[in-house]
Amino acid sequence: MKSKKQLIENIIHGVFLILGLITVACVLVITIYLLVAGIPAINKIGFMKFMFGTKWAPTASEPAYGILPFILTSVYGTSGAIILGVPVGFFTSVYLAKFASPKMKKIVETAVSLLAGIPSVVYGLVGMIVLVPAVRKVFNLPDGASLFAAIIILAIMILPSIIKVSMTSLEAVPPEYEEGSFALGATPVETYFRVSVTAAKSGIVAAIVLGVGRAIGEAMAVIMVSGNVANMPSLFQSVRFLTTAVSSEMSYVSAGSLHQQALFSIALVLFFFIMLINACLNFFLKRDKTN
């Protein structure tokens, strides 16, 4: 009887181990595949020409494969979204964690959760039909699809992750810190911004990094509002991001061509950026734990 129980126990352990390994295997397979598929084109085109070339014309008779416009667009777009989104998200999370009445907090929290649940294609569609024409009229441009429109959409899309993660870390600040500050005669605003925010610093930085990750990896929403032309980035010009560079041409490219391999190389560059951001995130979260 006992050995039978032991056997079942072992089998279940084995099953769980396999399930756990599936995740690891997926990550490994994707990483290896991207490296194998992405490196040949970089070698063929030349690393400098690929990373710092300013012209992308893969179907031209003399093809050019420079992805600097995409890299800069992704960097500018993400920075823009952070500049607009972080202040709003940060102050919202401070308000929700410290100032808001329970009822208000519940309403806003529900709204934030809903915002997180809206599919990105819906952001894109609303952006395309409402935001793009609005940008065209407000700034008196010939066309509204631009880096600016993409930044606005991205800023809204990263709000939920910034708000939720910073809120959690603000709420985790031990109440003794704040009580001590009150006891010394500090006002609530002084206490929350000087004591609570300082104590929750790494969590808030982690929230911002998470937002960066979300913004740089977004494809569907920006493809619909950014105009998608491989220009060097400028605020009111049509631009193309790293993500959309891959997705917009992948479906039409002929298999095995240098063009297709170059798209994999773009994916590899994007993957590298996201790995970098994840490493930052891990760094901040670990520091949070050791403190």
Partner 1 sequence: MRKMKKAIIFTLSAIMAISMLTGCGGGGEELSGTVSTDGSTSMEKVIGALGESFEGNNEGVTFTYNPTGSGSGITAVAEGRCDIGLASRSLKDEEKAEGLVETVLAYDGIAVIVNPENPVEDLTMEQIADIFTGKITNWKDVGGADGEIVLIGREAGSGTRDGFESITETEEACAYRQELTSTGDVITTVAGNPNAIGYASLASISDEVKALKVGGVSPSEETIKDATYAIQRPFVLVTKEGTDLSDVAQAFFDYITGPDANAIIVEAGVVPAN
232 binds partner 1 (CB under 8 A): no
Spatial distance between the Cα atoms of 261 and 258, rounded to a whole number of angstroms: 5
Residue with tokens 């070339």: 53
Q: Measured at the alpha carbon of residue 250, what is the angle toward residues 244 and 254, in degrees to the nearest 5? A: 155
Query: Helix, strand or coil for residue 227?
Result: strand
Name the residue nearer to partner 1 (CB basis): 30 or 129. 129
Q: Is 261 an interacting residue with respect to partner 1 (CB under 8 A)?
A: no
| Residue 60: count of CB within 10 angstroms of its CB | 9
User: Does 228 help bind partner 1 (rule: CB under 8 A)?
Assistant: yes
Candidates 49, 105, 136, 201; binder of partner 1 (CB under 8 A) is 136
Selected from 1, 22, 60, 183, the binder of partner 1 by CB under 8 A is: 60
CA–CA gap between residue 219 and residue 267 (Å, rounded): 12
105 vs 259, which CB is nearer to partner 1?
A: 259
CB of 127 to partner 1, least distance (A): 12
Q: Site residues for partner 1, window 145-174 (CB under 8 A)?
A: 145
Site mask, partner 1, residues 19-58, x = CB under 8 A?
Answer: --------------------------------------xx
Does 252 engage in binding with partner 1 (CB under 8 A)?
yes
Q: 285: burial class by Cβ within 10 Å (0-12, 13-18, 19+)?
A: middle
- For partner 1, the binding residue among 3, 254, 290, 291 (CB under 8 A) is 254
Element of type H or E holding 64: strand 64-65
Residue of the chain from 37, 72, 84, 253 that contacts partner 1 (CB under 8 A): 253
| Residue of the chain from 1, 24, 117, 142 that contacts partner 1 (CB under 8 A) | 142
The answer to whether 81 and 155 have CB atoms below 8 angstroms apart is: yes
Complex with partner 1: residue 135 or 209, whichever CB lies closer: 135
DSSP H helical ranges for the chain = 2-45, 47-52, 68-94, 102-117, 120-126, 132-138, 147-171, 175-183, 188-190, 197-199, 201-217, 220-225, 242-250, 258-290
Q: Could you tell me the two tokens for 211? A: 């937002």
132 vs 151, beta carbon nearer partner 1? 132
Tell me the window of 1-9, 37-45, 82-90, 139-147 that interacts with partner 1 (CB under 8 A).
Answer: 139-147
Q: Under a CB-based contact definition with an 8 Å cutoff, are residues 148 and 235 in contact? A: yes
> What φ, ψ does residue 239 adopt, rounded to 5°?
-135, 165
Per CB under 8 A, the list member of 23, 251, 290, 291 interacting with partner 1 is 251
- 246 part of the interface to partner 1, by CB under 8 A: no
Query: Residue 24: exposed, middle, or buried by beta-carbon count in 10 A (0-12, 13-18, 19+)?
Result: exposed
> Which among 2, 27, 34, 17 has a CA at the least distance from the CA of 272?
34
Answer for which of 45, 68, 132, 154 binds partner 1 (CB under 8 A) is 132
In the set 39, 126, 193, 248, which binds partner 1 (CB under 8 A)?
Answer: 248
Based on the shown chain and the rule CB under 8 A, indicate whether residue 143 belongs to the binding site for partner 1.
yes
Residue 133 interacting with partner 1 (CB under 8 A): yes
Give contact residues for partner 1 (rule: CB under 8 A).
57-61, 128-129, 132-133, 136, 142-145, 223-224, 227-229, 238, 240, 247-249, 251-255, 259
